Structure 1
Amino acid sequence: MKKTGYLLLAGGLLLISKGAMAADVEEPEYTLLAQTGDFELRRYDEQLVAQTWVSGDQRAASRAGFKVLADYIFGNNTAPTGGSSKISMTAPVTMQPNNNDGGSDSQKIAMTAPVSMQQDDGKWRVQFTMPSKYTMQTLPKPNNPDVEIVEVPAQTYGVIKFSGFTGSEKVDKKTQELQDWMQSKNLTPTGDPELARYDEPWTLPFLRRNEVMIAYEQK
């Protein structure tokens, strides 16, 4: 998986360039199939994701979903039988594992990027991609029933990259641009648009990396 550099700043995470003196955040690997400016076609291998469904507008849902999933990766989980070692974080976060009084086996799971959101029937699905070293058998199980572990099959995506804020108007505009571009390439979407954000809200707008992604049928 790819690596993104982060630096802890005033309780948040500030994106900085690769190779800087900061922790690395893992990103899913993909094969670049084609590129035109800010538009790309990508092929992702199968992935494990932790996901939760939340209600509200985009901003509120993003915060609520992130909180639930962060609670899981920071320790609100149960390790597989026989496993009790802590897993080092790959981002400089300040939260500690939430161990129960009974000393249950819990693990911290490395933060990965991006955080992905997709709307369906009035709710938002928020996802964290799990680090590549895990399998369904070795990944700690969520204690919170609102967190679900899902195996995502290999998939091709049309992607548009952009910086700045991710307000609903801007996301709608970028989504339409991506849909128009994909239509010009005679690509048939197989899923709803997904918003992928690589940075914490404290990151300066011009340093932010955002994407809208739409799965399509590869012929």
Structure 2
Amino acid sequence: RHTRYDIYQTGPWEISTRWTMVMGLPAFPFMWKPTLTFTGLSIMGIDPETTKVKTHVDTWDSIENQKHLSPEGVAEVLKQIFDFSQTPALETPGYTVMKKFADYEVRKYDSYLVAETGPGVDVREMKDGAPTKMDPQAAGQSFNSLAGYIFGKANEGGAKMEMTTPVFTNSGRMQFVLSKDKYESVDKLPASTSAAVELKEESGGMFIAKKFSGIATDEAANDVEKQLRKFAARDGLQTSGPAALAQYNDPFTNPLLRRNEIIIPVSNFEM
């Protein structure tokens, strides 16, 4: 899938456009169905006599050395091919990768529906406005409350909903994503019969994201969050809210194959 953004003039006879390309590779011979994502800039030189494109150069945002088959470029392709993390074939919030750096992504999320544990349930302890560790008992209570809602035990009419991914946790809250394809809006969701569960629509917007595998311990999640905030500061991006941990897989998935992410909203991203 190739998405092209604004085309603009960058020279007397030169035009440029930014783009995102997402390419899925076949299961054979890879078995794990890798997906490659690149963003970058296309620069096209125009022939003044024919007004046709005479030169075309593509650059990737994730590498510095833009030469054809540069070691850095080959390494970037191989890194993505041999990313063994698995994303379940379930409905998930839609997003577009607007810019893919070597160490993180900038994404534009569509709005999505969630069932959320209420503010009275402390999932992660806070210090200086940032999460420090997960309270296992509170997390278990939150998960059970949300599971009760989607499995029909705690919603009006006993509607059983399809599984989605990921599970989000941030700022003392846990969220299950709900199917927007089926319900479209909060008003069309079955009402919750549990005081612990709130239904809402997240507005989406611009976020930075960094993926990591393994077991999403508090220490691992906090380390990735620190790295992501450091990258944002390096690149002049202003974070505008707390980080969220996104966990895509069930507990029975091999930790080496798990897809976990830290995402943080940003307020000043420009193409």
TM-score bucket (shorter structure): 0.7 to 0.9
Q: Scaled by the length of structure 2, what TM-score is found?
A: 0.59
Q: Deviations over 1:67-90 (max 9, x none)?
A: 1101100002445xxxxxxxxxxx
Q: Scaled by the length of structure 1, what TM-score is found?
A: 0.72
Max radius of gyration: which structure?
2
Q: Are 1:215 and 2:265 matched, yes or no? A: yes
Distance 1:28 1:39 in 2: 18
For the residue of structure 1 that corresponds to 2:91, the secondary structure is: strand
Distance 1:141 1:17, change over 3 A: farther
Q: What is aligned with 1:55? A: 122
Note the C-alpha offset of 1:62.
Answer: 3.0
For the residue of structure 1 that corresponds to 2:221, the secondary structure is: helix
Note the C-alpha offset of 1:199.
Answer: 1.0
Q: What is aligned with 1:66? A: 143
**Bigger relative contact order, structure 1 or 2 (CA pairs below 8 A, ≥6 apart):** 1
Of the three residues 35, 42, 54, the one matched with 2:107 is 42
The share of aligned pairs that are identical, in percent, is 33
Distance 1:64 1:130, change over 3 A: same
CA RMSD of aligned residues (A): 2.0
Distance 2:103 2:249 in 1: 18
Distance 1:186 1:178, change over 3 A: same
Of the three residues 170, 189, 192, the one matched with 1:142 is 192
* Unaligned runs of at least 5 residues, structure 2: 1-30, 34-87, 124-132
Q: Is the 8 A contact 2:93 2:111 kept in 1?
A: no
Q: Is the 8 A contact 2:164 2:176 kept in 1?
A: yes
Distance 1:111 1:17, change over 3 A: farther
Distance 1:78 1:199 in 2: 24
Q: Is the 8 A contact 2:122 2:135 kept in 1?
A: no
Q: Are 1:28 and 2:28 matched, yes or no? A: no
Distance 2:224 2:89 in 1: 28
1:90-101 to structure 2, matched below 5 A, reads: none
* Unaligned runs of at least 5 residues, structure 1: 1-15, 80-104
Q: Are 1:109 and 2:161 matched, yes or no? A: yes
